[in-house]
Amino acid sequence: MKTIAVVLFQDLLLLDVSGPVEVFSIANRYLEPDCQYQITTIGSDGLSVRASNSMTLAADMSIEQVSGSFDVLLVPGGPGAYNQHDPALDCWLSKMFSHVGRLVSICTGAFILGKAGLLDGRHVTTHWNYTERLAKQFPRAQVETDRIFIRDGNLYTSGGVTSGIDLALSIVEEDHGKAIALAVAKVLLVVMTRQGGQMQFSPLVADVAKDDTPVFRVRNYVLENLAEDLNVERMASLASMSARHFTRLFSRELNMTPMEFVQSARIDSARRLLETSDLPLKTVAYRSGFGSARRMRHLFVERLGLPPSQYRRQFS
């Protein structure tokens, strides 16, 4: 029998708990009794916690009552994961790490692992909206922005919310094979492997900035004039700089080259049109500055992992 322990804390995201737990629970329907998952909940601060949606959960035991080890120790995310700090939980997790087969974080649960010092030197991920914050708060972690989930040794981290289901399915597949995992996925009406990563859901560039500097004025001009022929020389002239100096300054302030920014902005523009209109792909490509539907398709597949036509089907 495989033992699964789920850490509960105040202001957690309930779906980060219920999604993975349902995967393991449904898997039990297809497994012999001695191969099933035994699920336990552990309270980090007493036995009763209130989730971010105001529902109350009761833990089976507190961290002080835990003895022995677990095959999987799962840490969910939620506002309590990144807005609160529980030194007792940090200490307990750091001690438990060597006593669990797999330590798993869902969504922003990675922040709890980081506070416990467990992300140092590891390749990890979290919800796309928090990857930059995670990287800044834990600079020794190797934060990847586009992965649905990552396994680094016995440490597993996942992206936002429902990616916990993807990660739990992968654990079931590791333990019991693809046929069982696929059966569970069919019950939950989800796919075994998503096409593409978190970039399908996250904007590649932020909204128009209000900073009154040459770089940000050019940045905002680009966002408002994507159909123009926007090369480095053109952008540099708008900033009254040499191309070399502009590129260096732009890259330093925005952490991407000018042409990377243009490409990302055009993809975001095309995504909005695909989501909100029935315009032909050629028109979407022209209005977003790609020049051709073929060029737009190439960049969509390269950056988002799926072509524009499939993106429209999924998100419109």
Torsion angle, CA of 287/293/294/300, rounded to 10 degrees?
Answer: 70
Position 252 scores a pLDDT of 85
Quickly state the pLDDT bin for 30 (edges 50, 70, 90). Answer: very high
Task: Give the per-residue pLDDT at 145.
Answer: 76
- Cβ contacts of 170 within 8 Å, gap of 6 or more: 149, 151, 181
Residue 71 has pLDDT above 50, yes or no: yes
How do residues 257-282 score in pLDDT, each as one tens digit?
A: 999 999 988 998 998 899 889 999 99
pLDDT of residue 198: 62
Range 214-315: architecture per CATH: Orthogonal Bundle (1.10)
Of 3, 19, 39, nearest in space to 175 by CA: 3
**pLDDT, averaged across the chain:** 90
Q: What is the pLDDT of residue 135?
A: 92
Query: What is the rounded distance in angstroms from the CA atom of residue 88 to the CA atom of residue 54?
Result: 24
Query: How many residues are recorded in the chain?
Result: 316
| Distant-in-sequence, close-in-space partners of 29: CB < 8 Å, separation ≥ 6 | none
Architecture of the domain spanning 2-197: 3-Layer(aba) Sandwich (3.40)
The larger pLDDT score, comparing residue 211 to residue 263, is at 263
How far apart are alpha carbons 121 and 156 in whole angstroms?
A: 13
Question: Phi and psi (nearest 5°) for 10?
Answer: -65, 140
- pLDDT tens digits for 146-165? 688 999 999 999 987 788 99
The tens digit of pLDDT for each residue in 92-114 reads 999 999 899 999 999 999 999 99
Residue ranges of the domains in the chain? 2-197, 214-315
β-pair partners for 4: 39, 72
As a whole number, mean pLDDT of residues 193-215 equals 62
